[in-house]
Structure 1
Amino acid sequence: MKMDAFAFGITNWAEIDRTEHQGETGMAYWRTRYFGNYPNQIRVRWVEYTPGYRADHWCHKGHVLFCMEGELETTLDDGRKFVLTSGMSYQVGDNAEAHQSYSRSGAKLFIVD
């Protein structure tokens, strides 16, 4: 992630429209902002997973992900699994390790990529 210069700003996440993303099971709700210019644009998201959410894909995108609430299980393509709870984070680079998200009880996440 390269963060080119962009102006200081404040985001009130309650004012950002929510989009729905169907998982293999459950739903993900995203509130998304973009900062900077393409191709070095930064995507920042507040994401909510419903209980039972499982992503419908293996993600290759790099992220810095912070679990604000709930529990998130992340499976890597080599079979390793990691569980994040409130106050924990993970980081992974683009095309470093494919990963898939699952949340048994639901989760609220803050993601920068």
Structure 2
Amino acid sequence: MNMIPFETIDWNQIAKTEHPGESGTAYWQTLQIGGLRIRKVTYSENYIADHWCQKGHIVHCLEGELVSELEDSQKFILSKGMTYIVSDNMSSHRSITTKAVELLIIDGDFLK
């Protein structure tokens, strides 16, 4: 992994990319540093991810609330101030919202 000197992130300077879900849309602002990816992600209301994800993440809820659904039908609510963590290939999961939500998501090689 790359060594990271002290750095600030001005999210207002990072372009948003649009990622349609099964319903709704995700908007990503992404900073990539070697094998580390840091994203500020906004899911629109009524967002349902269009796939089951196997990647590991550290997900922190900045605003709103989402349901993280596992492929085995378990559901976990993540609300403002809460965080979930999972390593690569440990569970198939997807995000679902009823109202817009804003997240900070960190993932990368360290979660393998």
Shorter-chain TM-score bucket reads: over 0.9
Deviations 1:17-72 (A, max 9, x none): 0000000000000000011x3xxx10000000000010000000000000010111
The residue identity in structure 2 corresponding to 1:33 is L
Offset, 1:75: 0.6
> What SS does the corresponding residue of 1:24 show, helix, strand or coil?
coil
User: In the aligned structure 2, how far is the partner of 1:10 from the partner of 1:67?
Assistant: 20
Match of 1:25 in 2: 23
Q: Unmatched 5+ residue regions in structure 1?
A: none
Match of 1:79 in 2: 73
Aligned pairs, number? 107
Q: Structure 2 matches for 1:90-105, cutoff 5 A?
A: 90-105=84-99
Identity value in percent: 45
Match of 2:110 in 1: none
TM-score by length of 2: 0.92
The residue identity in structure 2 corresponding to 1:90 is Y
Match of 1:10 in 2: 8
| Residue 56 of structure 1, aligned match among 37, 50, 60 | 50
The residue identity in structure 1 corresponding to 2:97 is S
4+ long deviations beyond 6 Å: none
